[in-house]
Structure 1
Amino acid sequence: MATTVTERPGDAPSFETTPIGRRRKRTDLAMRIVVTLAFVIALVPLISLLWLTISKGLAWLSWDFVSTDMVGVFGSMTSGGILHAILGTLQITAWATLISVPIGLLTAIYLVEYGRGALARTLTFFVDVMTGIPSIVAGLFAFALFTLIFGTSYRAGIMGSIALSVLMIPVVVRSTEEMLKLVPNELREAAYALGVPKWLTIIKVVLRTALGGIVTGVVLAIARVIGETAPLLLTVGLVAQVNTNMFDGRVATLPVFAYRSYQQGGIGMDRAWAAALVLIVIIMVFNLIARAISKKFSIAQK
């Protein structure tokens, strides 16, 4: 038996019974449907790409594949692996992070806490410009820089790290800047009222409060560059063996290995899919670590 809503004199109009309320309810339902459909459509290419990479990559993935390099492997030989590319990717990304994070963090601190006038506006402008530069331009910059200093024949892993750091710095600056702006000014004022100097307030209060978001931003910057191929093709190229010396000789990386292997065709295409799957797993591990660190240092968890 249906129930009717009765309105007493003086009561506010019911949302379900007024024409405006019913129209808003229909509009809300329509927008929910549109947003849900947009979300599903956006997931289709992502899920299809993951499914294709996993299905093709798992067929070739094995312990021998991730624990050996390509020394002595040529033609249609089925042996060989990506150990040299995994280590090279981790080395180059680690050095790029060591270069980018201090520069990006200090720049963001200056822009939020100290920056005023023309210098701050100039820094903001150049950060915005660097955010949109193509990755190949970063590779050309690193190649030209080391060519001018060491000559055209010089190749080293540090060249790739410099190229990736050019892409990482603006991401770190922007993400850190936004996290620092979210820190309430009341926390700063409370520290100043206790006589704490500004530099110590930034270290102990501001950075501590925003640490979770900063770590997440750094991981996003790493994920932004770890799969770049163009700058690494120009700077470090590809070798068949492990090279742990970042200042001498070419260094293999997973993106370049996958690119070169796919170009070869045949068995090389299988190696390329497996290398792409390993790269996705590495990025996923970085994201899980970032989530754990962010949760550990989050103020909301205290």
Structure 2
Amino acid sequence: MSRLLIWRKLVNGVMLSLTGVCTVLTVAALFAILGLLIYNGGKSLSWSFFTQLPAPPGELGGGLANAIVGSVQIVGAAALIGIPIGFFAGVYLSEYEDKMFASVVRYVADLLNGVPSIVVGILAWALVVKPMGGFSGLAGSAALSVMLIPIVTRQTEQFLREVPLSLREAALALGANKWKMIATVVVPAGSKGVLTGMILGVARISGESAPLLFTALSNQFWGGLTEPTASLPVMIYKLATSPYDDWNRQAWAGGLVLIGLVLIANVSARLVLARGVSVPRG
């Protein structure tokens, strides 16, 4: 056996081992996080955790019902703002990619994707919170929607580009105009991928705390979107940094609930994507 062949086999074995170790470390990190959350947070999970308000300082019990509902409200409002804007922007980038304005929009979307969340929070505080005269859940939704828009935009563009060109040409050959073709052929064909991008985008913003610290702040009681609103990420931060052991345990439980919701969203997105790109019929 030549030295060159031995060397190639050695390099192949080393690289295979290295990639295997890196893969194991990646999976181990995920299971370590889940294990810690389950071990420390599972003890505090109960029916009262999902139905009661946080207990006063120094008292045992209570729950994070207001934070769970507040997170749903804030993220839901952010999705109502960000998803339509991101979707139509993604459609434009996919179908009018040769336009100069499309290049500008794509560049801006990439820039927004890279902006730190705390910077988004500061900007939302200056542009929304101060003019409104106080913190509110709506301000938090506005901040999160800014983070959601570029994610949905780029995901929509990516999946609509995967729709075969032949479908577009067939629709145009049958006499459909540009927007008729987009609405009845392109979007339905790429709908599963687009939906996947939307789900992943919502999952991405649901765990953000920095923007909400500057906009929605928090609330120990029930609150609407027009006033300071509790949210899981901010409440976890407050409980984790408190000097009370029971609050620390509830922070672990809140983290377990939050990562559980994110995992469900990610698994749902993967299941939708696994069904592939649909082709309209009829």
| Structure-1 separation of matches of 2:166 and 2:191 | 18
- Is contact 1:236–1:252 with CA below 8 Å preserved after alignment? yes
Distance 1:75 1:62, change over 3 A: same
Report the residue type matching 1:150 in the other structure: M
| Structure-1 separation of matches of 2:91 and 2:27 | 36
| Residue 242 of structure 2 corresponds to residue 257 of structure 1 | no
Q: Which residue of 2 aligns with 1:51?
A: 35
Question: 1:268-298, CA deviations, whole angstroms, 9 ceiling, x for partnerless residues?
Answer: 1101000000111111222344345445674
Task: Give the TM-score normalised by the residue count of structure 2.
Answer: 0.90
Q: Which residue of 2 aligns with 1:199?
A: 179
| Structure-2 separation of matches of 1:291 and 1:201 | 27
Query: Quick check: which has more Rg, 1 or 2?
Result: 1
Where does structure 1 differ by over 6 angstroms across 4 or more consecutive aligned residues? 17-26
Q: List runs of 5+ in structure 2 lacking aligned partners.
A: none
2:190 alignment partner, SS class: helix
1:256 alignment partner, SS class: helix
| Residue 49 of structure 2 corresponds to residue 65 of structure 1 | yes
| Structure-1 separation of matches of 2:75 and 2:8 | 50
Give, in angstroms, the shift of residue 34 of structure 1. 2.7
Give, in angstroms, the shift of residue 140 of structure 1. 1.3
Q: 1:216 aligns with which of 187, 192, 196?
A: 196
Task: Give the TM-score normalised by the residue count of structure 1.
Answer: 0.85
Which aligned pairs between 1:83-98 and structure 2 lie closer than 5 A? 83-98=65-80
- Is contact 1:212–1:295 with CA below 8 Å preserved after alignment? no
Q: List runs of 5+ in structure 1 lacking aligned partners.
A: 1-16
1:299 alignment partner, SS class: coil
Question: 1:243-276, CA deviations, whole angstroms, 9 ceiling, x for partnerless residues?
Answer: 2x32x21110001010000111322110100000
Give, in angstroms, the shift of residue 23 of structure 1. 7.2
1:59 alignment partner, SS class: helix
Report the residue type matching 1:299 in the other structure: S
Report the residue type matching 1:39 in the other structure: T
Q: Which residue of 1 aligns with 2:62?
A: 80
Question: 1:119-145, CA deviations, whole angstroms, 9 ceiling, x for partnerless residues?
Answer: 222212211111110101111122112
- Aligned positions, number: 279
Which aligned pairs between 1:224-239 and structure 2 lie closer than 5 A? 224-239=204-219
Q: 1:284 aligns with which of 260, 263, 273?
A: 263
Q: Which residue of 1 aligns with 2:253?
A: 274
Question: Percent of counterpart pairs with the same letter?
Answer: 35
Which aligned pairs between 1:121-200 and structure 2 lie closer than 5 A? 121-151=103-133, 154-200=134-180
Report the residue type matching 2:141 in the other structure: S
- Is contact 2:82–2:148 with CA below 8 Å preserved after alignment? yes
Report the residue type matching 1:231 in the other structure: P
| Structure-2 separation of matches of 1:237 and 1:110 | 35
| Structure-1 separation of matches of 2:15 and 2:79 | 41
Distance 1:292 1:133, change over 3 A: same
Distance 1:148 1:272, change over 3 A: closer
Distance 1:27 1:161, change over 3 A: same
RMSD: 2.3
